[in-house]
């Protein structure tokens, strides 16, 4: 099906774009951490906010690993609904994270972006993995 054959590379490219931006934020999170803090802050406050953002970014990378594992093992590669959901979620996540980076948004916003744009596709992926490997349904 030609629809499926263009959905697979589109899904892959949006996942990689989201991943690239997350890795970029990992290395330049200083400005975003400073945006969470009051104008005068102590080093401990900075460290605790920095740690929270690092935890959020690491959770994102873990969710990426789950989704890429499901994608490359073939479980959800040709599943149209999961492909569409994943493409939409990661594309909007990439745009939101670009704003997060350039506009130096608050750290709390990142958790919302994580919930809608990383956790949602990863949750569907886990359901599909359980369905295929646990309940032995066909992947499509």
Partner 1 sequence: MDLPDTIRRRLEDFSRNVFVDQSQSPTKERHTSSTHDRRVLASLPLQMSLFFNIWFFPLWWISAIVMLHLKYSALPDYYKFILMTILILMTVIEAIRLYLGYVGNLREKVAELAGFWLLSILLQLPQILFQLCNEAILVQPLERAIHIVLALFILTQAVAGFVALRDLVRHTESQFHLRQFD
CB of 10 to partner 1, least distance (A): 9
Which residue, 16 or 129, has its beta carbon nearer to partner 1? Answer: 16
Count CB-CB contacts under 10 A for residue 19: 19
CA dihedral 42, 44, 48, 53 (to 10 degrees): 50
CB of 70 to partner 1, least distance (A): 14
Which residue, 26 or 46, has its beta carbon nearer to partner 1? Answer: 26
Q: Write out the residues near partner 1 by the rule CB under 8 A.
A: 9, 12-13, 16-17, 19-21, 23-24, 26-28, 72
Q: Nearest-5° angle of CA 137, CA 61, CA 58?
A: 130
Which residue, 24 or 47, has its beta carbon nearer to partner 1? Answer: 24
- By residue count, the chain amounts to 140
CB of 99 to partner 1, least distance (A): 16
CB of 77 to partner 1, least distance (A): 9
Single out the residue of 85, 113, 99 nearest to residue 11, CA to CA: 85
Which residue, 2 or 28, has its beta carbon nearer to partner 1? Answer: 28
Residues 95-117 as b/e (b if ≥16 CB within 10 A, e otherwise) read: ebbeebbeeebebebbeebbeeb
């Amino acid at each position: 099906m030609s629809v499926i054959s263009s959905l697979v590379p589109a899904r892959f490219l949006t996942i990689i774009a989201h991943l690239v931006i997350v890795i970029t934020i990992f290395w330049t999170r200083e400005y975003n951490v400073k945006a969470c803090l009051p104008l005068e802050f102590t080093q401990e406050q900075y460290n605790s906010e920095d740690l929270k953002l690092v935890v959020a970014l690491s959770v994102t990378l873990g969710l990426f690993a789950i989704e890429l594992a499901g994608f490359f093992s073939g479980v959800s590669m040709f599943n149209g609904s999961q492909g569409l959901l994943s493409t939409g979620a990661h594309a909007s996540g990439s745009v939101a994270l670009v704003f997060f980076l350039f506009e130096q948004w608050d750290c709390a916003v990142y958790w919302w972006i994580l919930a809608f744009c990383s956790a949602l596709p990863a949750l569907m992926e886990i359901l599909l993995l359980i369905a295929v490997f646990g309940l032995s349904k066909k992947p499509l």
